[in-house]
């Protein structure tokens, strides 16, 4: 047992925090307000090798471990969840399957520019009628000559409107529910690919979220991951586990930002002629927040460590995601209400934290799905 980050990772943490504070913090207010993503950050962070953390050096990645990926995600989400989610998806769901199952040519073609921040990736599984139940997707990839024609629509796609390529799940054999799915890499220039609309959201305003359409979109055989038909969902298993553990880092970073802000408020504010910090009720609330964040952080890093050892199970990943995304809700809610009318003001980040955190309980498995996964793993 060893509960400290080693010196190398501590230095990494310091380095990424400084970079995010310098490069990302000044953009938050403007891009949250505009509800657009600051794409100029991609080449900036790419040049510093802060995208696609687990991507090997031979494909221009930093070749770090899951713990480092979590450190970085915690730090960027401490600054902004809307901006953070773009990089999380880019370095995770969008590129991870290519890293695992892509041919050498695909890795050269997609991973290298992705790691350098020259190309932005997205990942498209969810459809208007298939969210929690991924096996219910209807997008079909029909064999034609030396490739496939893809038809269908995808929704709630992070980076959908700004991506250069998207890793898409489609049925190559719709008669085999859940099994007959494959992953394809589609370029934004491919005829038949289009961004139907940008979706406005409750929170994470600076993230780009879109609905995508594939209309007879032709994709050559070599852009199908794995090279043989079927097994696409199984290919996603490690990627999804990894993503769910990253949610722990997202939640911890956002909770940390919320906590720092409310602690500062409570420290300095007076109410009815008394310092707010003298209220025993409020002291207890802050104590509870500190406790929750501690639990969230350790749970996340344990999950990341298990993943690095190659022994993280789906249940481990679900436990991290469920616990952290639920725990943060009370933190953001209390931080918001303690400030009363001040909390409601658009210029106060407390309301952004509340809106942003609410979005954590839905993607990459809703809280209900993770309960189901955990219960199944218990042998029930």
Q: 91-128: string of b/e by CB count within 10 Å (b at 16+)?
A: bbbbbbbbbebbeeebbebbbbbbbbbebbbbbbbbbe
What's the closest the beta carbon of residue 295 comes to other proteins, in angstroms?
A: 21
Quote the least distance from Cβ 116 to other proteins, whole Å.
31
Phi, psi (rounded to 5 degrees) for 171: -80, 125
Residues forming contacts to other proteins in the complex (CB under 8 A) are 126, 129-133, 136, 155-156, 199-203, 271-273, 279, 281-282, 285, 329, 333, 336-347, 351, 354-355, 358-359, 361-363, 366-368, 371
CB closer to other proteins, 20 vs 265: 265
Smallest distance from other proteins to CB 211, Å: 10
Radius of gyration of the chain (CA): 21
Nearer to other proteins, 132 or 221 (CB): 132
Residues 6+ apart with CB under 8 A from 243: 88, 92, 93, 96, 364
Based on CB atoms, which residue is closest to other proteins, 291 or 344? 344
> Could you say which of 4, 274, 364, 368 is catalytic?
364
Q: How far is the CB of 82 from other proteins (least distance, A)?
A: 12
- Give Dmax over CA atoms of the chain in angstroms: 78
Q: Which residue has the tokens 């990627």?
A: 239
To which H or E segment does residue 263 belong? helix 237-268
In the complex with other proteins, the residue whose CB is nearer, 5 or 362, is 362
CA–CA separation, 145 vs 232, rounded Å? 21
User: Is the CB of 39 or the CB of 276 nearer to other proteins?
Assistant: 276
State yes or no: is 364 an active-site residue. Answer: yes
159, 204 Cβ separation under 8 angstroms? no
Task: Answer yes or no: are the C-beta atoms of 153 and 194 closer than 8 Å.
Answer: no
Which residues, including other chains, have CB under 8 Å from residue 75's CB and lie 6 or more apart? 13, 16, 17, 20, 253
Nearest approach, Cβ of residue 334 and other proteins (Å): 8
Which residues face 167 on adjacent strands?
123, 185
Q: Which residues are catalytic?
A: 364
């Amino acid at each position: 047992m060893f509960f400290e980050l080693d010196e190398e990772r501590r230095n990494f943490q310091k380095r990424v925090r400084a970079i995010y504070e310098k490069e990302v913090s000044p953009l938050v207010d403007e891009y949250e307000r505009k509800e657009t993503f600051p794409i100029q950050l991609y080449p900036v962070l790419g040049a510093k090798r802060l995208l696609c953390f687990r991507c090997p050096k031979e494909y221009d990645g930093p070749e770090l471990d899951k713990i480092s990926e979590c450190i970085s995600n915690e730090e960027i989400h401490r600054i902004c969840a809307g901006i953070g989610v773009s990089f999380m998806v880019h370095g995770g769901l969008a590129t991870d399957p290519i890293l695992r199952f892509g041919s050498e040519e695909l890795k050269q073609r997609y991973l290298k520019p992705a790691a350098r921040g020259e190309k932005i990736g997205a990942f498209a599984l969810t459809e208007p009628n298939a969210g929690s139940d991924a096996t219910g997707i209807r997008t079909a990839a029909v064999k034609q000559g030396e490739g496939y024609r893809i038809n269908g629509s995808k929704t709630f796609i992070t980076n959908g409107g700004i991506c250069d390529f998207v890793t898409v799940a489609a049925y190559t054999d719709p008669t085999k529910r859940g099994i007959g799915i494959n992953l394809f890499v589609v370029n934004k220039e491919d005829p038949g690919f289009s961004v139907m609309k940008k979706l406005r959201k409750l929170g994470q305003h600076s993230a780009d979220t879109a609905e995508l359409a594939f209309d007879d979109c032709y994709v050559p055989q070599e852009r199908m991951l794995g090279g043989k038909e079927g097994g696409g969902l199984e290919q996603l298993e490690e990627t999804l586990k990894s993503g769910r553990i990253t949610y722990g880092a997202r939640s911890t970073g956002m909770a940390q930002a919320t906590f720092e802000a409310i602690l500062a408020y409570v420290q300095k504010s007076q109410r009815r002629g008394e310092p707010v910090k003298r209220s025993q009720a409020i002291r207890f609330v802050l104590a509870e927040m500190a406790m929750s964040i501690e639990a969230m952080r350790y749970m996340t890093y344990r999950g990341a460590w298990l993943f690095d050892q190659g022994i993280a199970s789906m249940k481990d990943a679900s436990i991290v995601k469920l616990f952290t995304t639920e725990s943060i809700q009370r933190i953001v809610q209390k931080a918001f209400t303690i400030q009363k009318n001040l909390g409601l003001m658009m210029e106060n980040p407390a309301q952004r934290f509340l809106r942003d955190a609410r979005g954590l309980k839905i993607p990459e498995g809703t809280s209900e799905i993770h309960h189901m996964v955990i219960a199944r793993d218990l042998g029930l």
